């Protein structure tokens, strides 16, 4: 045995992905009516790499006037071209976009990791392939809507305003744009302020795919730009993914109008480990559930419930596994946990860690080295958390796990459902009957059994309670963009 393998502190050699495949312009304008146009107020804002705080590009800030121009372009495209061409033709364009994402997958993955901070392994293996899959899946439905909804005469709404967050920038754009196009709607989409680059790259593809002008418009800006989309009188449907607070503002803003909405909001998922679970797999599931993508996942398994009889074993193995997680350069293929998306988000996470400590919970963090520049958070676990503690009730959106115990099935169902959210949950047990019993009583839109954070374009995703309403993905995702006679 070599000295290196005998040494328990051995490390992987760095394996950085090259950024040479990524072309990032110094400045991006707004993509409106098939062209790149300057913002009417002449303002631009910077987007940075959260792993080293370097400026990647500057991006146009769209105001109400630009939003109006984009909505007019989308309306005209809907009236004059997109609603006139056959569904089969629509499908061809969507297939083309899917193939072009695949062809440029490496570039997309690199830019996603640079702009957002997520490990390249995830953007390469999860975000980008799933984004292409969404386009493929919905391209297949475009000319089969009458079969999807027999006897119901589905019809597009018209212009969809779409607003997305920073945690899965390209994937969320795909979740929004693909079903909208397949159902015959046109689009005005706004990515998040901190992660606009892959949506703008997607605009390049849309232009190359020769999608008719104005069918997809991508405009950048901050919350105000999003609000201008929501409040524009000629938008027929709002598709929003983001925080519950902004979801509530949107709901108030569209009350009394004819606008339809789907809201995909926050979460506080319970990941439940029963004593008969395969413990080693469950530990991997816990790690994947909360530390994947730095915990920047709406459906993150941020509350862990462990049955008392296996508590010591689960926590011992979990801590041991946490110690082996590699935190650091998102571009390194070995990295498990990348950079926190922004200094603002890091402050929020640190605030909650301080609250967790103040409430007397027992904290464990792996002793990893954190780079000096950029925004970083150690994988964190809190034990002895009470049901009423803020870290067990509020969404943290970071790599922070709140652990509780339970004795009976009824107890854990009551505890798991006791939050304002209801987006997702996980159940780990050897017994199929227990899976059916628990999952049917869980007030959550998605419940994973003996796995976690698995996504597929064919399966619907969405929340209960303050996690929002409406579904994306699958047939449900199509009906969210259709009206029926």
Interacting residues toward Mg ion by CB under 5 A: 47, 115, 194
Half-sphere exposure (Cβ direction) of 189: Cα atoms closer than 13 Å: 31
- For the annotated catalytic residues, the residue numbers are 264, 298
Cα(316)–Cα(320) distance, integer angstroms:
6
47 binds, options Mg ion, ligand NAP, none, Cβ within 5 to 8 A by partner type: Mg ion
Q: Is residue 395 within the footprint of ligand NAP (CB under 6 A)? A: yes
Among residues 171, 227, 282, 478, the one that binds ligand NAP under rule CB under 6 A: 227
Which of the ranges 14-22, 48-56, 157-165, 310-318 carries the binding residues for ligand NAP, by CB under 6 A? 157-165
Cβ neighbours of 84 (radius 10 Å):
11
Q: Is residue 190 within the footprint of ligand NAP (CB under 6 A)? A: yes
Q: Which two tokens stand for residue 247?
A: 């979801």
Cα(259)–Cα(162) distance, integer angstroms:
13
Among residues 131, 163, 310, 425, the one that binds ligand NAP under rule CB under 6 A: 163
Cα(235)–Cα(214) distance, integer angstroms:
14
Size of the chain, expressed as the number of residues it contains? 485
Q: Is residue 453 within the footprint of ligand NAP (CB under 6 A)? A: no
Q: Please give the angle made by the CA atoms of 326, 330 and 335, to the nearest 5 degrees.
A: 25
Which CB, 85 or 253, lies closer to ligand NAP? 253
Which CB, 93 or 166, lies closer to ligand NAP? 166
Q: Which of residues 244-273 bind ligand NAP (CB under 6 A)?
A: 246, 249-250, 264-267
* Ramachandran quadrant class, 118 (left: phi over 0; alpha: psi -120 to 50; beta: rest): beta
Cα(326)–Cα(381) distance, integer angstroms:
16
Question: Nearest residue to ligand NAP, using CB?
Answer: 226
Cβ neighbours of 44 (radius 10 Å):
17
CB of 312 to ligand NAP, least distance (A): 32
CB of 296 to Mg ion, least distance (A): 13
115 binds, options ligand NAP, Mg ion, none, Cβ within 5 to 8 A by partner type: Mg ion
Binding mask 101-140 for ligand NAP (x = CB under 6 A): ----------------------------------------
446-449/424-428 β-pairing: parallel
CB of 293 to Mg ion, least distance (A): 15
Which CB, 133 or 241, lies closer to ligand NAP? 241
CB of 362 to ligand NAP, least distance (A): 26
470 binds, options ligand NAP, Mg ion, none, Cβ within 5 to 8 A by partner type: none
Cα(307)–Cα(132) distance, integer angstroms:
39
Among residues 119, 165, 184, 457, the one that binds ligand NAP under rule CB under 6 A: 165
Closest by CA to 319, choosing from 384, 366, 382, 369, is 366
211 binds, options ligand NAP, Mg ion, none, Cβ within 5 to 8 A by partner type: none
- CA 358 vs. chain centroid, Å, equals 30
Give 308's DSSP letter. G
Give yes or no for a contact between 369 and 393, defined as CB atoms under 8 angstroms apart.
Answer: no
Q: Where are the alpha helices (DSSP H) in 78-211?
A: 87-103, 105-116, 120-122, 128-141, 145-148, 169-182, 197-208
CB of 247 to ligand NAP, least distance (A): 7
Among residues 129, 223, 278, 460, the one that binds ligand NAP under rule CB under 6 A: 223
Among residues 222, 279, 355, 368, the one that binds ligand NAP under rule CB under 6 A: 222
Q: Which two tokens stand for residue 471?
A: 């579904």
Please report, as ranges, the residues that interact with ligand NAP according to CB under 6 A: 163-167, 190, 192-193, 222-223, 226-227, 230, 241-243, 246, 249-250, 264-267, 298, 395, 397, 423, 463, 467-468
């Amino acid at each position: 045995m070599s000295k290196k393998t005998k040494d328990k502190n051995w490390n992987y050699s760095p394996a950085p992905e090259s950024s040479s495949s990524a072309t990032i312009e110094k400045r991006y304008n707004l993509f409106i009516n098939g062209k790149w146009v300057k913002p009417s107020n002449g303002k631009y804002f910077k987007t940075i790499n959260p792993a080293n705080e370097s400026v990647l590009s500057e991006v146009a800030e769209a105001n109400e006037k630009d939003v109006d121009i984009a909505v007019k372009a989308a309306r005209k495209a809907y009236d004059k071209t997109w609603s006139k061409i056959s569904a089969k033709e629509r499908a061809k364009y969507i297939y083309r976009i899917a193939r072009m994402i695949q062809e440029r997958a490496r570039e997309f993955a690199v830019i996603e990791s640079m702009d957002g901070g997520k490990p390249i392994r995830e953007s390469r293996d999860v975000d980008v392939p799933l984004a292409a899959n969404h386009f493929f899946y919905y391209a297949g439905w475009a000319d089969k809507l009458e079969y999807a909804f027999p006897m119901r005469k589905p019809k597009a709404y018209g212009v969809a305003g779409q607003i997305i967050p920073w945690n899965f920038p390209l994937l969320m754009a795909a979740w929004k744009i693909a079903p909208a196009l397949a159902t015959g709607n046109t689009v005005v989409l706004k990515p998040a302020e901190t992660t606009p680059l892959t949506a703008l790259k997607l605009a390049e593809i849309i232009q190359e795919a020769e999608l008719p002008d104005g069918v997809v418009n991508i405009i950048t800006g901050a919350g105000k730009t999003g609000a201008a989309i929501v409040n524009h009188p000629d938008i027929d449907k709002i598709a929003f993914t983001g925080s519950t607070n902004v979801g509530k503002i949107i709901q108030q803003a569209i009350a009394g109008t004819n606008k339809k909405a789907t809201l995909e909001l926050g979460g506080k998922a319970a990941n439940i480990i029963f004593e008969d679970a395969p413990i080693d797999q469950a530990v991997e599931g816990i790690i994947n559930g909360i530390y994947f993508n730095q915990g920047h996942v709406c459906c993150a398994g941020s509350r862990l419930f462990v049955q008392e009889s296996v508590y010591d074993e689960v926590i011992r193995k979990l801590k041991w596994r946490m110690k082996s997680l590699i935190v650091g350069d998102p571009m390194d293929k070995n990295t498990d946990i990348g950079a926190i998306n922004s200094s603002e988000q890091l402050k929020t996470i640190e605030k909650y860690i301080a609250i967790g400590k103040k409430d007397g919970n027992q904290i464990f963090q792996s002793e990893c080295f954190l780079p000096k520049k950029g925004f970083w958070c150690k994988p964190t676990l809190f034990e002895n958390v009470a049901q009423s503690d803020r870290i067990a009730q509020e969404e943290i959106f970071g790599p922070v796990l709140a652990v509780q115990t339970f004795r009976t099935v009824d107890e854990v169902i009551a505890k798991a459902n006791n939050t304002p959210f209801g987006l997702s949950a996980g159940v780990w047990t050897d017994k199929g009957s227990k899976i059916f019993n628990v999952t049917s009583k869980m007030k959550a839109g998605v419940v994973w059994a003996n796995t976690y954070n698995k996504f597929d374009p064919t399966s619907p995703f969405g929340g209960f309670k303050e996690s929002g309403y409406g579904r994306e993905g699958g047939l449900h995702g199509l009906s969210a963009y259709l009206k029926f006679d």
